[in-house]
């Protein structure tokens, strides 16, 4: 089949052993599958290690609908200011959850022994992903520790420690 219209990248589990957050996201967007260009959709497979997570992140250009294929996931999103209300649920195989466009959301595998797998459909051929911790503490150039210390109401030493961590991108 034409490489512009088909992909076989979602059939194999991704290794989560070396992931600091315990997950790996395999995205199929217009960059990987040019036939998606202008169609307004993309798809991702997420593999979770036991106790792995897809850390808090947002998609600036897409709503996401997630379906659990294997295992159990604790998922949720937080509404915007001023309420910052958490909507969360434990999902099992076959369950579906929607994450509205632009809202911070996460997925966590609470099982200590079994991995989990999910498929996410996104309403954009280029949804984007902003992992919150990476953006705030791992930006290039770094955000001033004065700004972050005041924003998070912690000591500068805490910010310095956080900025010194290696911030992993599990969206690759």
> pLDDT value at position 58?
98
- Mean of all residue pLDDT scores within the chain: 93
pLDDT in tens, 49-86: 999 999 999 999 999 999 999 999 999 999 999 999 99
Q: What percent of the chain has pLDDT over 70?
A: 96
Looking at the chain, the domain(s) classified CATH 2.60.120.10 span 1-128
Radius of gyration of the chain (CA): 17
Closest to 29 measured CA to CA, from 55, 56, 61, 57: 61
Residues of the binding site: 54, 57, 59, 64, 105
What is the rounded average pLDDT of the residues 12-25? 91
What is the rounded average pLDDT of the residues 151-159? 96
Residues of the binding site for Mn(2+): 57, 59, 64, 105
| H helical segments located in the chain | 132-137, 145-152, 156-164
Question: Largest Cα–Cα distance in the chain?
Answer: 57
Residues of the binding site for oxalate: 54, 59, 64
pLDDT in tens, 24-41: 999 999 998 999 999 999
> pLDDT value at position 72?
99
Of 171 and 92, which is predicted with more confidence? 92
> May I ask the CATH architecture of the domain 1-128?
Sandwich (2.60)
Q: How far apart are CA 48 and CA 97, in angstroms?
A: 17
Give whole-number Cα distances, 23 to 1, 2, 133, 136, 150, in Å: 30, 30, 15, 20, 31
Band of pLDDT at residue 88, cut at 50, 70 and 90: very high
Q: Is the whole model's pTM more than 0.95, yes or no?
A: no
Of 169 and 99, which is predicted with more confidence? 99
């Amino acid at each position: 089949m034409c490489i512009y219209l088909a992909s076989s990248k979602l059939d194999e589990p991704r290794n989560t052993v070396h992931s600091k957050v315990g997950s790996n996201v395999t995205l199929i967007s217009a960059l990987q599958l040019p036939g998606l260009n202008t169609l307004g959709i993309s798809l991702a497979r997420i593999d979770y290690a036991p106790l792995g997570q897809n850390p808090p992140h947002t998609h600036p250009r897409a709503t996401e609908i997630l379906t659990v294929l294997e295992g159990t996931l604790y998922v949720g999103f937080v509404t915007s200011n001023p309420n910052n209300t958490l909507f969360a649920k434990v999902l099992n195989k076959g369950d579906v959850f929607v994450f509205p466009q632009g809202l911070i959301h996460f997925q966590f595998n609470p099982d200590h022994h079994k991995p989990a797998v999910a498929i996410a459909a996104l309403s954009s051929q280029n949804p984007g992903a902003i992992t919150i911790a990476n953006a705030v503490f791992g930006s290039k150039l770094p955000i001033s520790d004065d700004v972050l210390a005041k924003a998070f109401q912690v000591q500068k030493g805490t910010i310095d420690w956080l900025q010194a961590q290696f911030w992993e991108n599990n969206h690759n």
